[in-house]
């Protein structure tokens, strides 16, 4: 097949549709009408002789042939974009609008105190910082990057580990005076344990303790189930029960004696924090700048 510039144009439109999740959002990114995007994809399908997208009134998805074509074409689009950025100098320009979905704990305790530095460094960048209770669908919500705790499922998203923080088992002095301090994790079965709901499964996280190669799962129960970490910490401070919380952002509560770490001799339970973006293609420079900023904050 002889080179045809319209083929490259069609692949670019297809990539925008796949990454944005709809003809409408792809059109907004490319400056085209939804019907123009649809026609461009149809012309590409006619050109190569296969159906690339299954279209319904509610969703779009790549066909098997479309998926193979898309994965093979992506590296070439990356190379063209990278070459253009290097030649034009655009790789050094951070501007536009960045939509970032950030875990509330990380947003409050780590990013917010230093966010002024970030926007001062990039005066042409507008930051839309979201702190959702659950997990947003990055593509359908138009989110450029998310900062999320927990192992990330296998998907078309690209993940980068930012940090690993310890999981602490804590209680307030008031609770310990009333119920006594457990001397070993197995004694938690007799205590009121505040449960935290896993946003991925909707079920409370299971409690486990790690020390070297030793892993100790502990069945716990309690009358309270939480989905907001700030509310859980506040309830724990008020003496409502024992809680497992992330070490990041609570050191001052331990230093002030408002919370007590119950099992410092079991220090091996950790929880990862990832930066996640919606594409395996070359990241926009504004996304790379934000991820680099987050990584620098925890070094």
According to the model, what pLDDT value does residue 28 have? 81
Contact 135, 148 (CB under 8 A): yes
In the chain, where are the structural domains located?
5-91, 95-299
According to the model, what pLDDT value does residue 295 have? 93
Contact 148, 235 (CB under 8 A): no
> What averages of pLDDT result for each successive group of 10 residues across the chain (299 residues)?
62 80 81 85 85 78 83 70 55 79 90 93 91 72 86 75 94 97 96 90 91 94 92 96 93 95 94 84 81 91
Neighbouring residues of 13: CB distance < 8 A, sequence distance ≥ 6: 26, 30, 32, 37, 40, 41, 44
According to the model, what pLDDT value does residue 51 have? 87
| CATH class of the domain whose range is 95-299 | alpha beta
Q: Report the first-to-last Cα separation within the chain, whole angstroms.
A: 51
According to the model, what pLDDT value does residue 191 have? 97
Quick one: CATH architecture of 5-91? Orthogonal Bundle (1.10)
According to the model, what pLDDT value does residue 84 have? 57
For residue 91, give the DSSP letter: G
Q: In a 10 Å sphere around its CB, with 0-12 CB exposed, 13-18 middle and 19+ buried, how is residue 259 labelled?
A: buried
What tokens does 2 get?
């002889």
According to the model, what pLDDT value does residue 91 have? 47
What own/partner pairs with CB < 8 Å and gap ≥ 24 does 199-202 have? 199/133, 199/134, 199/135, 199/227, 200/135, 200/150, 200/153
Q: What is the 3-state secondary structure (H, E, C) of 24-71?
A: HHHHHHHCCCHHHHHHHHHHHHHHHCCCCEEECCCCEEECHHHHHHHH
Angle 155-156-160 (CA atoms, 0-180°, nearest 5)? 85
For residue 197, give the DSSP letter: B
């Amino acid at each position: 097949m002889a080179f045809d510039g319209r083929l490259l144009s069609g692949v670019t439109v297809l990539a925008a549709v796949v990454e944005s999740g709809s003809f409408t959002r792809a059109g907004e990114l490319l400056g085209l009408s939804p019907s123009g995007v649809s026609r461009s994809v149809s012309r590409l399908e006619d050109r190569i002789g296969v159906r690339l997208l299954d279209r319904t009134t509610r969703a779009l998805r790549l066909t098997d042939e479309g998926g193979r074509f898309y994965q093979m074409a992506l590296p070439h689009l990356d190379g063209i974009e990278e070459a253009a950025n290097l030649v034009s100098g655009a790789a050094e320009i951070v501007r536009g609008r960045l939509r970032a979905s950030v875990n509330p704990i990380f947003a409050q305790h780590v990013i917010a105190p230093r966010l002024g530095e970030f926007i001062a460094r990039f005066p042409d960048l507008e930051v839309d910082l979201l702190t959702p209770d659950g997990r947003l669908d990055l593509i359908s919500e138009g989110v450029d990057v998310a900062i999320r705790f927990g192992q990330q499922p296998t998907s078309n998203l690209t993940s980068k580990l930012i940090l690993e923080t310890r999981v602490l088992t804590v209680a307030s002095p008031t609770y310990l005076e009333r119920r006594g301090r457990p001397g070993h994790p197995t004694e938690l079965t007799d205590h009121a344990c505040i449960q935290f709901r896993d946003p991925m499964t909707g079920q409370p996280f299971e409690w486990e303790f790690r020390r070297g190669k030793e892993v100790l799962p502990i069945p716990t129960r309690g009358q309270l189930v939480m989905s907001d970490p700030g509310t859980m910490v506040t309830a724990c401070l008020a003496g409502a029960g024992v809680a497992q919380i992330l070490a990041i952002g609570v050191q001052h509560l331990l230093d002030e004696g408002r919370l007590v770490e119950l099992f410092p001799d079991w220090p091996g339970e950790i929880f990862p924090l990832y930066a996640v973006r919606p594409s395996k293609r070359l990241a926009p420079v504004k996304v790379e700048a934000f991820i680099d900023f987050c990584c620098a904050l925890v070094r």
